[in-house]
Amino acid sequence: LRNITSEKEVQKLRELDKIKTNFIANISHELRTPLAAIKAYTETILNTEMNQEEIIEFLSIVYEQSIKLEQLLNDLLDFSQLESHTMKLVKENVNLCEILDRAIETVRNLAVQRNVEVRTSCKNVMAFCDPRRIEQVLVNLLSNAIKFSDEKKETKYVTVQIDKTPTNQVEIVVEDNGIGIPEDKLDKIFEKFYRVDNELTYSIPGTGLGLAIVKEIVELHNGEISVSSREGVGTTFTVRFPASENSN
Ligand code: ADP
């Protein structure tokens, strides 16, 4: 019996080791891509004669890429806070529809690039929450919905609906008609580092940390997140958390 246990433990450790190796390869790639772009574009600006318009165009690419780097570092910092359970919320009363507007602004370029329509439904939903963190939840869910959209579909969309339930819970539903997630992988996607193994995940950048961070933030708001999905049809994420302090 002892031997079986230790064999299982060794296997588990091997898996963990593989996950970490993959993660480092992944993160190195994620860092290198924007860095290479920043280097190449600044080199061109420095070594080529360019007019003002061209310089501005190149600098905006440099700016965009540095934002990518910043986001990646923020994810890593959040992840270390998640691991040490030191993430702190700064709660206030906010209108979630305004937060949604800001989140949509952040993903607008990505949505245009991938030709994904973003549809929303939100009317003055007030909640006591950490606006920065909830915005991060929305940005993560929205950018996943856009990233994993289905090229084969003529109309690609993601809809976000924010409401309050009769029990004074905030309900955020993010639905897409993307590639979907295989049923046997649904409980894995919230695990740190996990990415579904398919063609798209190789070409689409990501660390597999996004949903682990989202889940932690939602749980810190005393809420929960669930997912339902069908391969080739689409995916729906539902987030619920108490709208006010005393609805806990
Ligand atoms: P990342 O986006 O960095 O890969 P996440 O933790 O955000 O990491 O997501 C984990 C995995 O879950 C993704 O790699 C992808 O395979 C799957 N996934 C998440 N959201 C969606 C979605 N809306 N549609 C299809 N697959 C998704």
Q: Which atom of ligand 1 is nearest to the CA of 158?
A: 23
Cβ pair 107, 118 in contact under 8 A: yes
Q: What mean pLDDT do residues 105-131 have?
A: 96
| Cα 144 to averaged position of ligand 1 atoms, centre (Å) | 6
What's the pLDDT band for 68 if we cut at 50, 70, 90? confident
Rounded to an integer, what distance in angstroms lies between the CA atom of residue 100 and that of residue 137?
Answer: 10
Q: Which atom of ligand 1 is nearest to the CA of 212?
A: 6
Cβ pair 163, 134 in contact under 8 A: no
| Cα 208 to averaged position of ligand 1 atoms, centre (Å) | 7
| Cα 184 to averaged position of ligand 1 atoms, centre (Å) | 14
Rounded to an integer, what distance in angstroms lies between the CA atom of residue 212 and that of residue 191?
Answer: 6
| Cα 204 to averaged position of ligand 1 atoms, centre (Å) | 10
Nearest CA to ligand 1 atom 25: 180
- pLDDT tens profile 1-25: 667 778 889 998 998 888 888 888 8
- pLDDT tens profile 163-192: 999 999 999 999 999 999 999 999 999 998
Encoded tokens for 26: 């992944």
Q: What is the pLDDT of residue 248?
A: 47
Q: What is the mean pLDDT of the chain?
A: 92
| Cα 174 to averaged position of ligand 1 atoms, centre (Å) | 13
Encoded tokens for 191: 């695990």
Rounded alpha-carbon distances, angstroms, from residue 106 to 103, 109, 132, 199, 222: 5, 7, 13, 26, 26
Indicate the helix (H) or strand (E) that contains 177. none
Cβ pair 160, 121 in contact under 8 A: yes
What's the pLDDT band for 145 if we cut at 50, 70, 90? very high
Give DSSP secondary structure letters for 16-57: HHHHHHHHHHHHHHHHHHHHHHHHHHHHHHHHS---HHHHHH
Residue type present at position 92: E
Rounded to an integer, what distance in angstroms lies between the CA atom of residue 223 and that of residue 220?
Answer: 7
Quickly tell me which residue has 């409980």 as its tokens. Answer: 187
Ligand 1 neighbours, Cβ below 6 Å, are 144-145, 148, 176, 178-181, 189, 194-196, 201, 206-212, 235
Residue 173: partners with Cβ closer than 8 Å, 6 or more residues away: 159, 160, 161, 162, 236, 237, 238, 239
Q: What is the pLDDT of residue 206?
A: 79
Q: What mean pLDDT do residues 58-66 have?
A: 94
Q: Greater confidence, 208 or 120?
A: 120
Indicate the helix (H) or strand (E) that contains 188. none
Encoded tokens for 210: 């996004």
- Is residue 58 pLDDT above 80, yes or no? yes
Q: Which atom of ligand 1 is nearest to the CA of 178?
A: 24
Q: What mean pLDDT do residues 153-163 have?
A: 97
Encoded tokens for 206: 């990501």
